[in-house]
Amino acid sequence: MRKFTAPLIAGSFALAVTGAALAENPMVGSAAMYADKNIVENALNSKDHTTLVAAVKAAGLVETLSGEGPFTVFAPTNAAFEKLPEGTVDTLLKPENKETLTTVLTCHVVAADAMSDAIGKMIADDGGTHALETVGGCTLDAKMDGDNITLTDENGNVATVTIADVDQSNGVIHAIDTVLLPKS
């Protein structure tokens, strides 16, 4: 019969707990997302959000989104930014367009920690559509499309949440497939 020593058992327990903690958050952009890291720290690791990270840096929002929160960020993927007309991202990243870029980005942020089940409940409680007020002054209409949450901006652009409930130390990230824009 094999004997286990206390350090081996303790080490195995630590691995089991660490593995369980990692399993709670979905992978995003082939990277582990850690609930004890903030939105910016986790986003930096996602290969699917390099454009968003560059935009957050250009807009000067790193400190804000690293702050206490709580924030719910609907995070457009690189593919979402690629759907914009050619040259749009390059134009937005120019220093002279910082205010516009900031507005676009903050139209993806709600000042709350809203997991998908809470958003789904708000949608159901409001008869199928729930208005989300963003910190950028935009209103997003949240709806259900089957099991997926969709967000419609004030221009009629519809984004689908592709990865939900990525828990952060200062809120939650939901990856989306379309960039949401302020009213034009």
Residue 1 lies in a domain: no
Rounded Cα distance between 111 and 73, Å, is 9
Q: What is the spatial distance between Cα 52 and Cα 72, in angstroms, rounded to a whole number? A: 15
Range of the domain at 135: 6-176
Residue 1 scores a pLDDT above 60: no
Q: What is the CATH number of the domain that holds 105?
A: 2.30.180.10
Considering the domain boundaries, does residue 182 fall inside one? no
Q: What is the pLDDT of residues 156-171, one digit of tens each?
A: 999 999 999 988 889 9
First to last CA, the chain: 73
Mean residue pLDDT across the chain: 85
> Looking at residues 6-32, what average pLDDT do you find?
48
For residue 168, being part of any structural domain is answered with yes
- For residue range 27-54, what is the model confidence (pLDDT) as tens digits? 676 667 777 888 888 888 888 888 999 9
> Has residue 183 been placed in a domain?
no
Residues 86-125 pLDDT 10s: 999 999 999 999 999 999 999 999 999 999 999 999 999 9
- Distance of CA 157 to CAs 39, 49, 140, Å? 24, 20, 10
User: How far apart are the C-alpha atoms of 145 and 162, rounded to whole Å?
Assistant: 12
- Please give the structure tokens belonging to residue 71: 């924030």
- How many distinct structural domains can be found in the chain? 1
